[in-house]
Amino acid sequence: MQVFRLYFKLLNRSLPTIVIYIIVFLVIVVGSSLNAKQNNEKMFKESKVDIAFINYDKNSAFIDGLKDYLGSRCNFKEIEDSKEAIQDALFFRNVSYIVTIPKDFTERFFDGEEVKVQKLSVPESTDSVFIDMAINNYFDKVKLYINHSQSLSEDEIVKSVMKDLSSEVEVEFYSKTAKEEDSSFLINYYNYIVYAMLSTLILGIGAIMISFTELDIRRRNIVTPLSITSFNLQQILGNITFTLGLDVILILFGFFLNGKVLVSQKSLLFILNAVIFSIVSLSIAYLVGILVKSREASNGVANVIGMGSCFISGVFVPKELLGENVLNIAKFTPAYWYTTTNEAVGKLTNHTLENYTGIFQNMLIQFGFAISFFAIALVISKKKSVEVI
């Protein structure tokens, strides 16, 4: 096993650079995962909106009730009652919404007339929708009591409406997949493996292949007692060992970061997809090792392929933000099909053979890339072997 031992002696030379790439990968993953976790943990919470309330009507229980109801959802700001002051308040975002109650509004409203409050808001503001819903909700409840409880006074109607509006209902969402784990961490983590796999394997295997494929070294190996078949088998065994070792390290890192998530049915599919992609990365690294002639060139290729694949395949930039032309180009890269598989696995709700069909098809496409790269590498290697003689 001389070649096998030599393989890992050569790998040790590239170990510092490989470790740097793995550390960069971990920093990116941890930062992304923590950010995703914070976003997932954020629950909807009503935030109070700054508004101004201008009343030209007389003081009444109806208007006071509206103001009290809005006060539970808004912060009232005092502004000068002039056109210029109102425009300035909206322009400088001192308030997001200004509601003006016109004269005789209460009387006309209780008489059944179609009356409206005057509203001004910041253009295209979501806050305005929030306030509109609150105002309409209050008015609709009051109209309901006016139409069906004529015997009640204005004060009694307002008290009943405020009591109704203060009631809260607890809502629970139920689905058959309610207990399914949140896959956001798995998708993020395994997507970023694209960078670690490609960069690390190209650096490691590329550097080793460069050493083995130097013309003088190949000529010397030919005259040794070791057969070419044994030499190649030991080299292949070294490549497989290095690749599987990297798989184990990256999977264990993911387990360390979030073990509860990784122990799941989906995680097995993510791991299987990662192992398949590592085979693709191995084929790319093998091809690069045959083509390039220096370690400096190998480092450059590792950066270009690793970073380039991440940018166009949906790792660093979500696919939703990429143009159609970019995605069409990305389909010619195995990283695209790898990340697409991860996203499909993350969306799984029912683990049936029908749902697995598209996932397994994407994995087969990745295998096709691996076979193609290996085939090209063997053809080039065969041509280069002629130069040895």
Do 7 and 139 lie in a common domain?
no
Is the predicted pLDDT of residue 283 greater than 80, yes or no?
A: yes
pLDDT category at 348 given cuts 50, 70, 90 is confident
Last residue of some domain: 166, 197, 225? Answer: 166
Claim to verify: residue 230 and residue 326 sit in the same structural domain: yes
142 & 203 share domain: no
CB-count exposure of residue 104 (10 Å: 0-12, 13-18, 19+): middle
Is 173 among the domain residues?
no
45 or 14: which leads in pLDDT: 14
Q: Are residues 249 and 357 in the same domain?
A: yes
Q: What is the mean pLDDT of the chain?
A: 81
Work out the average pLDDT over 67-80. Answer: 90
Angle, helices 184-212 vs 215-222, to 10°: value is 70
User: 106, 133, 166: which is the final residue of a domain?
Assistant: 166
Question: Which pLDDT score, from 0 to 100, does residue 380 have?
Answer: 83
Using the predicted structure, report yes or no on whether residue 101 has a pLDDT greater than 90. Answer: yes
The region of weakest confidence among 7-11, 191-195, 222-226, 231-235 is 222-226
Of 110, 141, 166, which one is at a domain's C-terminal end? 166
The answer on pLDDT for 107 being more than 70 is: yes
Region 351-379: mean pLDDT is: 87
Q: What average pLDDT does this structure show over 106-132?
A: 87
Confidence of residue 216 (pLDDT cuts 50, 70, 90): low
Beta bridge partners of 74: 49
Residue 321 covered by a domain: yes
Q: Which residue has the higher pLDDT, 28 or 365?
A: 365
Domain span including residue 273: 2-35+182-388
Given a cut of 50, is residue 356 above it in pLDDT?
A: yes
Residue 368 pLDDT > 90: yes
**Structure letter (DSSP) for residue 321:** G
Report yes or no on 171 lying in a domain: no
Q: Lay out the sheet containing 74-76: strands in order across.
A: 74-76, 49-55, 97-101, 118-121
Whether residue 167 is predicted with pLDDT greater than 80 in this model: the reply is: no
CA separation for the pair 377, 368 (Å, rounded): 14
The whole-number pLDDT of residue 180 equals 47
Q: Does residue 175 form part of some domain?
A: no
Count of domains for the chain: 2
pLDDT at position 173 is 53
